[in-house]
């Protein structure tokens, strides 16, 4: 397995103001890396995490000149940048999601120009063929299930196209690229309100608000029988590190193989809160595919990686962080 870069190697985290990007910066700092640059289009006060030791820059990476400025002098690039959110966002912002293809385009071109040694791209399980996700008890998705192509409209097409770009920059120009398909990453210090939050954070927020307000009901998008798998941020970061420093060049799953219903996710949040709520099912709300789960056969055999954080444990950490935010005065809450 290739060795990790030296601790003083210049590393760029594109999308460094986002949930995973912030945690990646924190992890690299803890590992002793001293030459980090983080870039995001959001103003710094809206970043999930900001560190004084990191060269943090506000740049829109859809712009070619900005990507060149970001990549210049770097030897390693992590591209986590895109315009995305939970199902409520991606189903109503398909064009915005597609425009994110410019980010990977400009970063790949800059990486080639400036001789980047390794380029990491975060794709998504939304790249998978929707026909293979049409029932709650869906078989776990294997890497080959992305083809024939029929991904999530908008966001999924952008991810699948960007995967191919990474492949061809590797084949044509010798740029070392690594690609993971992330499955529903969650944890503290992330978006929990405003429309871009994903299911674990949204459900925790709804349960907390119901408890704080003395209400005894919760709205659930869909019928609650749709299934997903959820990966805690710590497991995600370990997986990213393993794939980045491996010889695996084709897209590979990074997610949990534990298939659960949305109803069960609500059960867990209620158990943590110590309450029981009446459920109102909004069948007209965005709900995505009927079922989705990660098949980890390949990554387990090649890298001996499997998520180790039980869903209840990870959700409890997420719940307590969101609870802390919602009990602060509004002006002191973290909003992303």
| Residues acting as catalytic residues | 155
- The pair of structure tokens assigned to 101 is 């293809």
Residues across the chain: 336
Contact predicate 40/58, CB 8 Å: yes
> CA-to-CA distance for 276 and 244, rounded, in angstroms?
43
Using DSSP's 3-state secondary structure scheme, residue 323 falls into helix
Return the axis-axis angle of helices 311-326 and 199-213, rounded to nearest 10°: 50
> CA-to-CA distance for 97 and 4, rounded, in angstroms?
32
> CA-to-CA distance for 39 and 54, rounded, in angstroms?
10
Q: Tokens 């991904």 label which residue?
A: 151
> CA-to-CA distance for 178 and 238, rounded, in angstroms?
15
Return the axis-axis angle of helices 64-71 and 101-113, rounded to nearest 10°: 50
């Amino acid at each position: 397995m290739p060795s990790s870069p030296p601790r003083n190697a210049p590393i760029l985290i594109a999308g460094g103001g986002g949930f995973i990007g912030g945690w990646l910066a924190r992890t690299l700092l803890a590992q002793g890396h001293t030459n980090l640059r983080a870039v995001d289009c959001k103003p710094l006060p809206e970043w999930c995490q900001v560190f004084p030791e990191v060269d943090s820059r506000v740049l829109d990476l859809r712009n070619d000149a900005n990507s060149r400025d970001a990549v210049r002098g770097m030897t390693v690039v992590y591209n986590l940048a895109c315009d995305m959110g939970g199902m409520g966002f991606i189903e109503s912002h398909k064009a915005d999601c597609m425009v994110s293809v410019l980010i990977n385009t400009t970063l790949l071109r800059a990486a080639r120009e400036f001789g980047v040694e390794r380029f990491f791209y975060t794709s998504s399980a939304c790249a998978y063929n929707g026909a293979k996700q049409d029932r709650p008890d869906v078989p776990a998705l294997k890497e080959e299930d992305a083809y024939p192509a029929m991904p999530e409209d908008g966001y999924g097409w952008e991810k699948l196209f960007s995967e191919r770009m990474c492949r061809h920059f590797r084949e044509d120009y010798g740029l070392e690229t690594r690609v993971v398909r992330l499955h529903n990453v969650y944890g503290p210090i992330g978006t929990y309100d405003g429309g871009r939050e994903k299911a674990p954070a949204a459900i925790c927020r709804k349960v907390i608000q119901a408890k704080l307000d003395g209400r005894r009901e919760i709205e659930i998008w869909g019928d609650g029988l749709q299934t997903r798998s959820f990966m805690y941020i710590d497991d995600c970061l370990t997986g990213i590190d393993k794939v980045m420093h491996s010889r695996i060049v084709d897209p590979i799953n990074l997610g949990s193989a534990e298939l659960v219903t949305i109803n069960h996710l609500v059960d867990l949040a209620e158990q943590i809160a110590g309450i029981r709520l009446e459920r109102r099912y909004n069948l007209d709300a965005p709900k995505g595919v009927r079922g989705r789960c990660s098949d980890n056969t390949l990554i387990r055999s090649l890298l001996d990686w499997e998520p180790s954080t039980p869903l209840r444990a990870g959700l409890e950490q997420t719940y307590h962080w969101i609870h802390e935010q919602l009990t602060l005065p509004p002006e002191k809450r973290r909003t992303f």
